[in-house]
Homo-oligomer: A and B are copies of this chain.
């Protein structure tokens, strides 16, 4: 069987089954946005890694090298933000074809260094090796106060489900580029911005949190799977801005599909106790209630004009034809 038949989710399950843990200092291993380790009296250590591959995650006829560097850093911070923490250190591993232009590396590192400086992240190591295609693997190390840790497994029945900002814009931008059309969503796709500051503030109030990297549907399914709950998402509540709707029309697609299954929005989805909802007024940012956590037996579904619809996983690294 090929990995394209099995799919990413099943492959991760298969790999996870064979893994043994040998330390009591592991708070969380595989199964969340980052691994969580004991650190000091008040803090946990967070570790995550993510890879960008040329022509799969970035196309150099669309992205500048600076934007690629920025995307590599911001997308990894997004995972740290989803745990309620902040980034501190990074290691960067590059695979480069031997004919890569040094000027490309300079510009890539301009992007990496600018984003690192913005968040005061220190680059402490990495690796250079040669290969047929450019790829960038970032390993991000962060810290979170114990009381602020937001695990996927921490959603409670009757929690409200909210998202920051708007969804679907990144995928709309990608599709415009693919179809050689223009529109403002392209900016959302090319200029990755994580929600670190909002994540830090939210971490004081929320239960479960996750970043929207694979689409709202995948993230809610992950939270429900780890928390052993069900959930309902109200389709008409999903925040999609007018630009995204207009740009999606240009390629004859449904913007709700991009919000649910598109990915790379790097917004945050979180669950919160109803009684803490008003506390969010303290945070100057846009939040939208998009659903509610249910009991496990009620399942995970989308409510669309009163009809229950099944929610599936979004972007799959091996199955999806992206």
CB closest residue in chain B, given A23: B122
Mark out the residues of chain A between 66 and 109 whose CB falls within 8 Å of any chain B CB in the assembled complex. 88-89, 91, 93, 95-96, 98-103, 105-106, 109
Query: When the two chains form their complex, are residues B29 and A317 in contact, meaning their CB atoms are under 8 A apart?
Result: no
Given contacts A89-B37, A105-B11, whether A47 and B141 have CB atoms under 8 Å apart is yes
Interface residue A18 (Cβ < 8 Å from any Cβ of B)? yes
Q: What residues of chain B lie closer than 8 Å to A49, measured between beta carbons?
A: 91, 93, 125-127, 137, 139
Count chain A residues whose beta carbon lies closer than 8 angstroms to a beta carbon of B: 72
Distance in angstroms between the alpha carbons of A124 and B105 in the assembled complex: 30
Query: When the two chains form their complex, are residues A18 and B113 in contact, meaning their CB atoms are under 8 A apart?
Result: yes
Per assembly, the copies of the chain total: 2
Interface-located stretch among A51-59, A161-169, A302-310: A51-59
**Of B12, B26, B100, B125, which one neighbours A34 at CB under 8 angstroms?**
B125
Query: When the two chains form their complex, are residues B51 and A102 in contact, meaning their CB atoms are under 8 A apart?
Result: no
Interface residue A40 (Cβ < 8 Å from any Cβ of B)? yes
**Of B35, B117, B128, which one neighbours A11 at CB under 8 angstroms?**
B128
Query: When the two chains form their complex, are residues A40 and B37 in contact, meaning their CB atoms are under 8 A apart?
Result: no
Distance in angstroms between the alpha carbons of A231 and B78 in the assembled complex: 46
Distance in angstroms between the alpha carbons of A123 and B18 in the assembled complex: 10
Interface residue A133 (Cβ < 8 Å from any Cβ of B)? yes
Query: When the two chains form their complex, are residues A122 and B20 in contact, meaning their CB atoms are under 8 A apart?
Result: yes
Q: What residues of chain B lie closer than 8 Å to A125, measured between beta carbons?
A: 29-30, 34-35, 47-49
* Chain A residues engaging chain B, CB cutoff 8 angstroms: 1-4, 6, 8, 11-12, 14-15, 18-23, 25-26, 29-30, 34-35, 37, 40, 47-51, 53, 55-57, 88-89, 91, 93, 95-96, 98-103, 105-106, 109-110, 113, 116-117, 120-133, 135, 137, 139, 141, 317-318
